[in-house]
Amino acid sequence: MSVKENTALIRRYFGMDIPPEIAQKRREIKLTREQRQAGFRAHFESIFSPDFICHDSNNEWNREQSLTMNLRLYAGFSNLTFSMDKMVAEEDIVVVVGKMRGIHQGTYAGIPATGKTVEIGFTSTYRIAKGQVVEAWSSMDWLGLMQQIGAIPTNIMEI
C-alpha cells in the first residue's frame, strides 16, 4: 500500500474522516452496549490483522486482547473522541501523536464512574501490511487518566 493509503487506514481507525453531521447522528442513535460493541468489533477487525500484535511498555497484546482493552475503554468513557496533533508516515509505518477525550460514565479499571471529563495524550506507531495493521507500539498517559478520574493523587505531597 502507498503512504497515502496507510495514513487513510489509520485516520479511518480513529474516525477522523467522518463528516461532522454523520458523527452527530451516530451520537444521537441510542444503541445498546452489545450493539456498540459489535459495531466496534467489526470496525477493529477490518483494520487490524488477525495476527496483529501491540507492544506497550509492559506487555504485548494480540488482536483479541487489544480489542478487549478498547472495548473496556469505550464502556468506561462516553463520547470518546480522538484528535491527532501530528501524523508522520513513511513506507509501511504511520506514527500518530494525539489526544483522547471522554467522560468517565462507566466503571473503568475497577473505578466507578465519576462523571469527570478526561483528556490524555498518546503516541502510537503502526506497521501496515496488505491493507491491515499488523503491529503497533503504543504509549498512553495512563497515570494522567487515573489522576483525572481521582484514582491516584495528582499532588506528590498527597502520597
pLDDT digits (tens, 9 = 90+) for 98-149: 999 999 999 999 999 999 999 999 999 999 999 999 999 999 999 999 999 9
Q: H or E stretch including 53?
A: strand 48-55
pLDDT, residue 156, reads 66
pLDDT digits (tens, 9 = 90+) for 6-17: 999 999 999 887
Q: Kindly report the number of other CB atoms within 10 A of residue 66's CB atom.
A: 20
What residue type is assigned to position 74 of the chain? Y
pTM here?
A: 0.87
C-alpha cell at 137: 507500539
pLDDT, residue 158, reads 61
User: Is the CATH code 1.10.150.120 the one for domain 3-150?
Assistant: no
pLDDT digits (tens, 9 = 90+) for 28-53: 777 777 887 888 899 999 999 999 99
pLDDT, residue 108, reads 93
Query: What are the b/e assignments for 104-114, b being 16+ CB within 10 Å?
Result: bebebeebeee
